[in-house]
Structure 1
Amino acid sequence: MNSISNDYRHNCETNKLHPVILKCGEAGQVIIPDTTPGGTTATITTITIDTSKFRNPCTKLEFTSNIIATPTSPTAPVVGTLNFQVFKFCGDQQPIPIGGQFSFALAQAVAVPASTTFTFFVCDCNQCLNGCCTYTITVTAAGTIITGHIGVFAARLAAITVDNPK
């Protein structure tokens, strides 16, 4: 006999409705061409969520993309690092970084095109004052210079928001 078969039901409140938002942003893309200097930043994708009906919202944001590296010649491998960052915009306030930076490094040994899926997620449990939050993903060329062309394609930000009971 399974001693934990129904134990989980004691912690569930089955008669209460809790709001949930599931939202998928539009796909975005950015191309970072050969010889792009370090520090160059571009916005890839954005999503806006109305949390005004929540008492204590908590949002999980998931970013996914396809990174394609293309060498400029048969003897020049693609080399560079991309830093991805989530920012939250609330009304007229300055953008707030959510979580740390996520880095993607390319250092191909041979000069051939390459494709890689890159994904990460962060959670944000701080409500905007007006109840409407806009999240943006930026990508920054790190280091001194990018060698080869790097494209971030099919970049999409998805979010699920729930009321955090704690």
Structure 2
Amino acid sequence: MPTFFAEGQGLSTAVSSGLFSLYFLVHGLTQPLTGSLSDRAGRGPTTALSMASGIVGYAVLVVGDALAVYAVGVCFVGLAMSWGAPIQSRFMDQFAAADRSAGFGLGRTVYMTTGASGNVIVGALADLYGWDASFSVLAVIMAVVLGALAGNRLLGLGL
């Protein structure tokens, strides 16, 4: 994200780093809240809220042209990246109590590996097509997940 702001949007390194710090602040504050909301409102609706927030956040970052607009986008993205709490809980709900430790380890391994490779893909897309295209792909991915959640709910698939 700091490189997106510095190279893609022409902001100073200090401002770019400040926006990245804001992202972590929002993410750190909202992750426990999304976990709690997931327990109360359900895993699917809470994940959908996270995905919708990401769509808005990444879109705002791509079309934004002022520091205040970028800050709003970063806040939406910070909330969006709290998707791990409801998704991990949804995943863990599928395991019997005796299998939850192994399931947790498996889930985290897949999540961390995917996250690590995602950075390479975002960077490669930025090199090939520019930062706006790269961040737009992130919004599209979140839209696909949101669509899958909506389809699951509408069709009563129970996935």
Q: TM-score normalised to the size of structure 2?
A: 0.23
Q: Which has the larger radius of gyration?
A: 1
Q: TM-score normalised to the size of structure 1?
A: 0.23
Tell me which protein shows more strand as a share of its residues. Answer: 1
Structure with higher RCO (Cα < 8 A, 6+ apart): 1
